[in-house]
């Protein structure tokens, strides 16, 4: 069975070398030399371990059919040989976000912030996977682990997308965000 659970373990092993760790908003996290990404649980991932973050892929909450079709038509998978840059961005949203109803969240996410529309314009250069954390336990440090891969020449475009997204009304609900840059050098 394919695991929906992914673990991101900071340490001295793993295919990805950490090039920078920056707390964008809120508390920083521990620095590590390398990142090991495992499609499963790993020892020591029970919170409050600072070294391992974990999340599960899930069904979509916000996309409508026409957006889903555009995503399916444009998106590429992870693991492309040329995509040697990755970014892991763990995010926690505020209690105010979680107090909204589903339709209110969709309104902020897409009608006001155009999250999917912005993201779509950076496909297929950037490949992505979204992991959810909230339902794993009551004390996960983040709500989402977002993972992106792209070729080095697309880093500028990726940074431009980040600036666009961080300026949206959706980001007013982000209370913790860490930007972890990585390069794949085999380890
Ligand atoms: C590569 C371009 C991107 C595309 C195509 C994209 C697309 C999407 C889509 C379609 C969803 C909603 C999934 C659903 O219906 O549940 C989503 C959710 C999300 N994305 Fe993006 N995104 C992109 C970039 C980013 C970036 C750069 C970040 C972080 C800085 C990010 C953070 C998130 C988060 C945290 C969620 C979950 C929101 C929530 O459920 O409250 N995305 N994204």
160: confidence class by pLDDT, cuts 50, 70, 90: very high
**Per-residue model confidence as pLDDT tens digits over 84-99:** 999 999 999 999 999 9
Is 176 within 8 Å of 91 (Cβ atoms)? Answer: yes
pTM: 0.96
- The pLDDT value recorded for residue 74 is 98
Beta-strand pair 52-56/5-11: antiparallel
Dist. CA 185 → ligand 1 center (Å): 27
**Per-residue model confidence as pLDDT tens digits over 35-76:** 999 998 887 655 555 689 999 999 999 999 999 999 999 999
Closest atom of ligand 1 to 126 CA is 1
Residue minimizing CA distance to atom 7 of ligand 1: 116
Dist. CA 130 → ligand 1 center (Å): 7
Closest atom of ligand 1 to 158 CA is 27
**Per-residue model confidence as pLDDT tens digits over 97-149:** 999 999 999 999 999 999 999 999 999 999 999 999 999 998 999 999 999 99
Residue minimizing CA distance to atom 5 of ligand 1: 119
Which one has a higher pLDDT value, 158 or 187? 158
Dist. CA 165 → ligand 1 center (Å): 9
């Amino acid at each position: 069975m394919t695991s929906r659970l992914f673990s991101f373990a900071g340490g001295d092993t793993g295919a990805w070398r950490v090039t920078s760790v920056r707390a964008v908003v809120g508390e920083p996290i521990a620095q590590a030399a390398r990142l090991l990404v495992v499609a499963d649980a790993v020892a020591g991932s029970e919170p409050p371990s600072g070294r391992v973050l974990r999340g599960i892929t899930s069904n979509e909450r916000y996309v409508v059919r026409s957006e889903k079709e555009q995503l399916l038509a444009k998106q590429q998978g992870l693991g492309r040989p040329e995509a040697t840059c990755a970014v892991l961005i763990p995010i926690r949203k505020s209690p105010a976000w979680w107090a909204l109803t589903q339709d209110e969240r969709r309104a902020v996410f897409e009608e006001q912030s155009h999250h999917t529309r912005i993201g779509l314009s950076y496909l297929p250069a950037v490949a992505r996977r979204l992991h959810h954390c909230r339902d794993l336990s009551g004390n996960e440090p983040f709500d989402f682990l977002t993972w992106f891969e792209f070729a080095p020449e697309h880093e500028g475009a990726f940074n431009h997308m980040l600036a666009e997204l961080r300026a949206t009304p959706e980001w007013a609900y982000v209370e913790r965000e860490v930007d972890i840059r990585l390069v794949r050098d085999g380890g």
